[in-house]
Amino acid sequence: MILDAVGIQKILPHRYPFLMVDAILEIDRLKRIVGVKNVTINESHFQGHFPGAPVMPGVLIIESMAQTGGLLLLQEVPDREKKLLYFVAVDGARFRRPVVPGDQLRVEMKVLSWRGDFCKLEGKATVNGQLAAEATLMCKMVDREVVAKAEKSAK
């Protein structure tokens, strides 16, 4: 393991209950990253999705992919505590098998392009070697300060 939950939280701004990556297993700087999400029944979304037949929501699988990719990108940003990564697009999302409590979601993200503040990543999520989901994600890096000012002016 390259990063555990404590190390991940030093890089990502996400916290429980919205931290969707538990460990990083592999990193090839600027190219790819492999992380894992341990899916447990005590996660709050399983109370309603679905009672008696819990399935991890697809949007949370995509979020796990985004956070894993975000770890790869933010490691390269010297002032990352002043930055946020925003989704700008999700393309080609496909869900191939349900992800249920007890599964370990293995997320592999590859950088397709990274120009300035924009990045495009290709991701695959598997469980026991079986493809669970895949998508292409695009994100934009923004300054936290600019976001905070815009929120204040909108009020």
Supply the range of the domain harboring residue 65: 5-154
How far apart CA 49 and CA 117 sit, in angstroms, is: 35
Asked whether 98 and 128 are in contact (CB, 8 A), the reply is no
Q: Is 14 exposed, middle or buried (0-12, 13-18, 19+ CB in 10 A)?
A: middle
The tens digit of pLDDT for each residue in 109-134 reads 999 999 999 999 999 999 999 999 99
How far apart CA 97 and CA 36 sit, in angstroms, is: 17
Residues with catalytic function: 49
How far apart CA 36 and CA 125 sit, in angstroms, is: 9
| Count of structural domains within the chain | 1
Average pLDDT, the chain: 95
CATH of the domain at 117: 3.10.129.10
pLDDT of residue 18: 95
The tens digit of pLDDT for each residue in 22-31 reads 999 999 999 9
The tens digit of pLDDT for each residue in 26-74 reads 999 999 999 999 999 999 999 999 999 999 999 999 999 999 999 999 9
Q: DSSP states of 116-141 as a string?
A: TTEEEEEEEEEETTEEEEEEEEEEEE
